[in-house]
Amino acid sequence: MLTHTAVAETTAGEQRDAPEKFPSQQSITFGGASGVQAELEDLYKYRDELLEPDWEKKLLSPWFDWKQDFADRTGIKMGVNLLMTYQDASEAPSPGDDSDAAGGIYRFQGSWTAFQGDNGSVGKLDWRLEARGDLGTGLAPQELGGQYMAALNPGFPYGNNFDTDFSVLSWTQTFNKGRWGYAAGRMAFDVHLDSFAFQSPYRGFLNRAFILNPSIGTTGLGALGAAVKGHISDQVWIGAQIYDGNAANGEFDFDTVQEGEWLKAVEFGWTPGFARRGTDRIQLTYWEKDERKKAGVSAGSGWAMSSSYQLTPDVLGFFRAGHSDGGAGVAAESSASVGFELKPWAQRAWTLGLGWSEPSEETHGAGLKDEWVLETSYKMQLTRAISLTPDIQWLHNPARLPSKDQLWVFGIRAIITL
């Protein structure tokens, strides 16, 4: 689906629609779960909550009501997301080193519907102002995880090298009631490249095995680029995309585009029916990345496959895999992951996943063992604005710590959505 429909907010006395157990993600065949419009859809809908405190309703209801009224009058939706994670490993990387870390992701994002034609054509301007960093520990979870694992970083989304910057500033145009569309501008490549329901820091997983395929080429968030995708039938879609291969997180420099080094991809997807494209789908991606001469990074290519299926009304299962030639600075030559999300209640979700990777010899050096991760989490929507997610990961064969066969990483994540 190339467009989205947000659930209108309600006042305390109005009837609310029941929350979806597995809500369709914005642009699920065009972009993924971490897209601006997908996150705004979540911000604007009513979320069933465990506690329903009066203080939150009194404090935040005026803000939510104003946002909805402003969106109705102007076509501009916006919101603030604060994600904070703390992780503690069962042992330090070396004697005297820290074994814990905390990090945050801070986003102010929005979307302006500039026009909407009678023929189903919609034009939107999306933006996301973003920063990431540690939370006073001097060490972010991604940095801590990098001292243990080469490819399957246990705190992957929470890095420390992301200054405040526009990670998204792009135009999205859709046609034929959302069956075709394109986006261009400053892009978050992970929204479109190998898009996947769990490719988001808001779902249950923290390990890169599940959030971003470790065998796929990457670039910086906020890269100049473009993506075009669309359905050629109710069951089949195709797409292509290109991004500046030298973009860096939290930085923006037009000069990198002039180097003419690109990350490119084409994709083919299938779903049993257009109405089921949000959950029941399989997608194949072939990617190439040019040699980065100034950075001294070789060219690379590979393929990726991501799939999900709603096994029961309460269970969404997934499988994804990938293989590369080891170039382009990829974390892994081969990788695979499998798991599910169990959501029998609207306020809680349990996730379980198993991931494997063969670290890239070109990126990390020869002689590394295959890495494994088993991760489980339990997300609780405490209030409309606050969720809490305990997380446990078992890491086997940590490549950066060859003296150890295994270790545990315990985490807790809080998300505030306004």
- List, in sequence order, every beta strand (DSSP E) within 188-299: 223-231, 236-244, 262-270, 281-289
DSSP codes, 145-202? HHTT-SS--TTTT--S-EEEEEEEEEEEEEETTTTEEEEEEEE-HHHHTT--TT-STT
Q: Is residue 199 domain-resident? A: yes
- Per-residue model confidence (pLDDT) at position 15: 35
Phi, psi of 56 (to 5 degrees): -70, -40
Task: Determine whether 184 is exposed, middle or buried from the number of CB atoms within 10 Å of its CB (0-12, 13-18, 19+).
Answer: middle
Of 115, 112, 89, the closest CA to residue 102 belongs to 89
Total domains, the chain: 1
Pair type for strands 162-175 and 76-89: unpaired
Tokens of 270: 């299938």
CATH of the domain at 75: 2.40.160.10
383 lies in some domain: yes
pLDDT of residue 8: 32
Domain assignment present for 15: no
Structure tokens, 279: 């959950």
Q: For 87-103, how does the pLDDT look when each residue is reduced to its tens digit (9 = 90+)?
A: 999 999 888 889 999 99
pLDDT confidence of residue 270: 95
Tokens of 189: 């490549």
229 assigned to some structural domain:
yes
* Distance set, CA 348 to CA 171, 186, 339, 342, 379 (Å): 34, 34, 17, 9, 5
Does residue 213 fall inside a structural domain?
A: yes
Look-up of token digits 């070396």: 94
DSSP-assigned letters across all residues of 329-365: T-SEEEEEEEEEEEEEETTEEEEEEEEEEEE-HHHH-
> φ and ψ at 61, to 5 degrees?
-55, -40
Residue 220 lies in a domain: yes
Question: Which residues span the domain enclosing 406?
Answer: 36-417
- CA end-to-end distance (rounded Å), the chain: 25
Q: What is the CA radius of gyration of the chain?
A: 21
In a domain, 346, yes or no: yes
The pair phi, psi for residue 2, each rounded to 5°, is: -95, -15
- 386 strand-pairing partners: 416
17 is a domain residue = no
pLDDT on residue 21: 52
pLDDT of residue 29: 41
pLDDT tens for the chain, 418 residues long, are: 333 333 333 333 333 334 445 444 444 445 678 889 888 887 777 667 777 788 888 888 899 999 999 999 999 999 999 999 999 999 998 888 899 999 999 999 999 999 888 777 889 999 999 999 999 888 999 999 999 999 999 999 999 888 899 999 999 998 887 788 999 999 999 999 998 889 999 989 999 999 999 999 999 999 999 999 999 999 999 999 999 999 998 888 778 888 999 999 999 999 998 888 888 999 999 999 999 999 999 999 999 999 999 999 999 999 999 999 999 999 999 999 999 999 988 789 999 999 999 999 999 999 899 999 999 999 999 998 999 999 999 999 999 998 899 999 999 999 999 9
Buried b (16+ CB within 10 A) or exposed e, 231-240: beeeeebebe
Contact between 26 and 38 (Cβ < 8 Å): yes
How far apart are alpha carbons 377 and 389 in whole angstroms? 6
Closest CA to 31 of 257, 337, 267: 267
